[in-house]
Chain A
Amino acid sequence: MSTPYAKLPAWADYGLIPLINLSVAFIVAGLVVVLVGENPFRAAVILVEGAFGKGTGIAFTLFYATTFIFTGLSVAVAAHCSLFNIGTEGQAYIGGLGIALVCLSFDATLPWWLIFPMAIVAAAAFGALWGLIPAYLQAKRGSHIVITTIMFNFIAASVMVYLLVGPLKPAGSQAPQTRNFLSGAELPKLNWVIELFGAKIRSAPLNVCFLLALVMAFLVWLLIWRTRLGYEMRTYGHSPKAARYAGISETRIIITAMMISGALAGMMALNPVMGDQHNVAIDFVSGAGYVGIAVALMGRLHPVGIVLAAILFGMLYQGGAELAFEMPAISRDMIVIIQGLVILFAGALEHMFRPYIQALFASVSPKTVGMEAVKGKGA
């Protein structure tokens, strides 16, 4: 994704600008809090304390963060190939179907450490498959990936509702969900790690998926910056023409990138399904796919940034729940607004402050922005 702007030093590009954008997003969010008649500073304190004040809060924060690491990575992998995958939501939903099939078949007979790898493969495969069709249509038929993935989100929702009120629902049950998995399909919790540091935890759903998420973040870094495939993806992302000229197959690279993206999205479902609810219910993804867009943008598409951004959003989710409890005027919808503001300021308006910062850098020392002579101000 090229920009018509001159370069800044890396620390400004990856540290300063996102920080400024994020601050503006939170200032606007603070104004919304003022609008509903509460004190934004007190709200911020409650939010941070709710997320990190107690052991249980930390565990919940990391549990939510796990989900967002997967979806953030999913969006980022596609974005490196200049594909905007809005379909993470649907791919995760369908990934849940794969997990359900594995767990419902084997939970009575096998232990968790055998079911878990099978579920990972199934979730990834189902998610990848749901990403494959839009990718194929983009590569071969030229249909815009944004539109097709939006459509596939709705189709996925219809498919899952059909299955969950029909074939997958146990006989005699009213709730639109699968039966509860037996203990064989329950993932071990990680709460003891936090308890090692002396904190007390009352039932929190943090589980081994957190470790899997960190491993996947490392593998994505390896893929994007240390493999030939990643290089090809980034080349295509920067300039499809250059990629074609270098003999990179457009079809292959689009389909591979979207399948990896879909697989990561599908694996997100492991966390809530096997780690927390132990069943697949209607709308269990509940917008995590869209949060992935915010996480990826805020993390500047880098796995380290994504993990940090995911923890921030985990904090917002957990702290937001506490906040809704302490200040009834601020419901959990506040988080949705903050998400929107982060996407707006860190994503769509990411260049808003850049010219000013460039002008500042250029006036202090022109060398830092790589310009011989500064023509006019900023860009």
Chain B
Amino acid sequence: MDLFNAIIQVLDSTIRLSVPLLLACLAGLYSERAGIFDIGLEGKMLVGAFAGAAAAAVFHSALIGLGMAILISVAFAMVHGFASITHRGNQIVSGVAINFIASGSTVLLGQAWFKQGGRTPALQPGERFEAITWPGADAVRDVPILGPIYSELISGHSILVYFAFAMVPFTWWVLFRTRFGLRMRAVGENPAAVDTAGISVTWLRYRALICTGVLTGVAGAYLSMVQNGGFVKDMTAGKGYIALAALIFAKWKPVNAMFACLLFGFLDAAAIRLQGTPLPVIGKVPVQFMQALPYILTVILLAGFIGKAIPPRAGGVPYVKER
């Protein structure tokens, strides 16, 4: 029973740790499917986290915080769009720039406004998204096997967790069952064809980036308003890059993205749990190895040793109309 409880705990923290990855990964999916590389996921999450926590603390409302997180994150996505769509700049360079500006400005403004070393004030109960307890979760807690699964894994998360997982089928539906999704995929593969059909490549790509901004904003809000009770300097800690890795791992498909993020979240949870405990057969695994595993797996995948990840064809190439 101890083992079972331990597994439930690891899975529970797997869900918690994979939510920001999943949101950022789906965010990246929208922009990359539309042909815009986005290594600025990290920065957009960071500004989302800061704006969310700061607004929630000032206005004493979690919802205003979330709205602000989304707003600022979308604004950064629009900067990316302005540089890489309107001015046909290098998308990677623009993403790097956004990460820098985000990392510097969140700490500078946080320090200037709140004077707590770059942190935002600790959020009070009404200013955070609380865990939702599902009906009957406490009643069935003692039922063997199913009880803990229901009350620990399914119940007891914040609304943003359910939102993240709901976004998976929703993204699938948008991508493969709507006109917008079809056009978005087309613009990522062959923008000239979309242009010929009389549809604006620019506007389509901007709309995809708005989706990206909304999702990274929610991801940031989750970090600072659910996982943590406030913003801390550089709190994304490379999650945007892991999300990017997960996106490649998922071969740019929404359902795969969920599994990739759960896998990377599980690796993280297991690394925390197993710290220093020897495993059967392999012995003691250095925690750094577990932390590097998502990156190593992605490199191996990219190298084509386990399946082949083929990105959208027009990705990274600015679209120039025929003259």
Contacts and interface: CB of A to CB of B under 8 A. Distances in A.
A339 B100 contact: yes
Contact of A144 (B97, B103, B105, B311): B311
Nearest to B104: A336
B295 interface: yes
Given A137-B302, A329-B111, A343 B100 contact: yes
Nearest to A379: B323
B109 A158 contact: no
A347 B88 CA distance: 11
Contact of A158 (B105, B108, B291): B291
Interface string A126-168: 0000000000010001111011101110110011011000100
Interface of B: 37, 39, 79, 82-84, 87-94, 96-105, 107-109, 111-112, 118, 238, 241, 244-245, 248, 286, 288-289, 291-292, 295-296, 298-299, 302-304, 311, 320
A84 interface: yes
A152 B99 CA distance: 18
Contacts of B244: 147, 150
A144 B308 CA distance: 12
Chain A interface, >50% SS class: helix
A112 interface: no
A337 B304 contact: no
Contact of A349 (B89, B105, B111): B89
B90 A348 contact: yes
A340 to B, nearest CB: 3
B289 A162 contact: yes
B266 to A, nearest CB: 18
A32 B108 contact: yes
Contacts of A347: 89-90, 93-94, 96-97
A148 B92 contact: no
Contacts of B118: 331, 333
Contact of A143 (B82, B295, B304): B304
A341 interface: yes
Given A32-B108, A347-B89, A154 B295 contact: yes
Contact of A334 (B108, B238, B288): B108
Contacts of A35: 109, 112
Contacts of A37: 112
B103 A336 contact: yes
27 contacts: A35-B109, A137-B302, A143-B302, A143-B303, A147-B298, A151-B241, A152-B299, A154-B241, A155-B295, A158-B292, A158-B295, A290-B100, A330-B108, A331-B118, A334-B108, A336-B107, A337-B100, A340-B97, A340-B100, A340-B104, A343-B100, A347-B93, A347-B97, A348-B87, A348-B94, A348-B97, A349-B94
Nearest to B93: A347
B100 A329 contact: no
Nearest to A163: B288
A259 interface: no
Contact of B320 (A4, A32, A137): A4
A343 B97 contact: yes
Given A340-B97, A340-B100, 14 more contacts: A142-B304, A147-B244, A147-B298, A151-B295, A151-B296, A333-B118, A336-B100, A336-B104, A337-B101, A341-B97, A343-B97, A348-B90, A348-B91, A349-B94
